[in-house]
Amino acid sequence: MLRDVTFGQYYNATSFVHKMDSRVKILLSVVYMVGVFFVHSYVGFAWLTCFLMIAIGASQVPLKSIFKSLRGILFLLLFSAVLNVFFVKEGTLLVEWWIFKIHDQGLIDAGKLMLRLTLLVCGASLLTLTTTPVDLTHAIERLLKPLSWIGIPVHIAALIMSLTLSFIPSIIEETDRIIRAQKARSADFDTGGLIKRAKAFVPILIPLIISSIRRAEELAFAMNSRCYEGSKKHTQMKVMRMGWRDLVGSLITVVFFAAIFTLYAFADNAWLGANLPWLLF
């Protein structure tokens, strides 16, 4: 039931993207997300989709694993699309029924919003599927290290993040096990109204909370028994080093998004608008 959740899970492979430095992948993901919000045309979204497909191909991650992450936001996608369709009152009126009016601009905005959310979630899933939680945490700690100069305990925040990411797969597995155990006892989670379904999940939440507290307590005891003190000068078993893959990936990403940012920045230029209309639609 919950095995389709891909956040916090790692797809083991030896691809080009897997071997890139975690810090570089995080920074490039930030550039990608900025580009997703920067683009506002369907042609731009098509270019971003091509870039994402190339990145997925270089990562050797199956498309099925990427698209699984969309199931978790399916309701958000549909809800956002409905809001845009029925509440945007700009453009040509297409359909009018009772108090509902559908304009062409509402359909356009709904499609763009769904594409933007889809690209964001797929890009974030690609990052987590190609980077282990430990490497991801260490990379974030390195990137946030300047904050330690003003007294912010970055190493503690990194430890909390690492533990959180490491617990996500185990909590998902535990939840799935509890649901199957309750169904074996004739529990029903799929029928009835919203209130009935919410009440049916109470027998799942209580043992899940108890199990999570027990896991956290066992982890705290294990850390105390090993004299963990959260030293600021701790070492890492795997030292992060940048290589030629990071340079190639950074150059491709920077050139691609620099071109997009430049085109949209000068979209109001008369000469550019007259000669490159197909790029900006």
Q: Within a 10 A sphere around the Cβ of 255, how many other Cβ atoms?
A: 9
pLDDT number for residue 7: 57
User: Crossing angle for the helix pair 42-59 and 244-265, nearest 10 degrees?
Assistant: 180
Over residues 208-229, the mean pLDDT reads 84
Tokens standing for residue 102: 């559908």
What pLDDT digit, counting tens, does each position of 70-101 carry? 877 888 888 888 888 888 788 777 777 777 78
Q: What is the mean pLDDT of residues 185-211?
A: 77
pTM for the whole structure: 0.75
Q: Which of 86-100, 214-228, 263-277: highest mean pLDDT? A: 214-228
Structure-token match 């108090």, residue found: 99
pLDDT exceeds 50 at position 1: no
d(CA 12, CA 131): 9
The C-alpha atoms of residue 281 and residue 266 are separated, in whole angstroms, by: 14
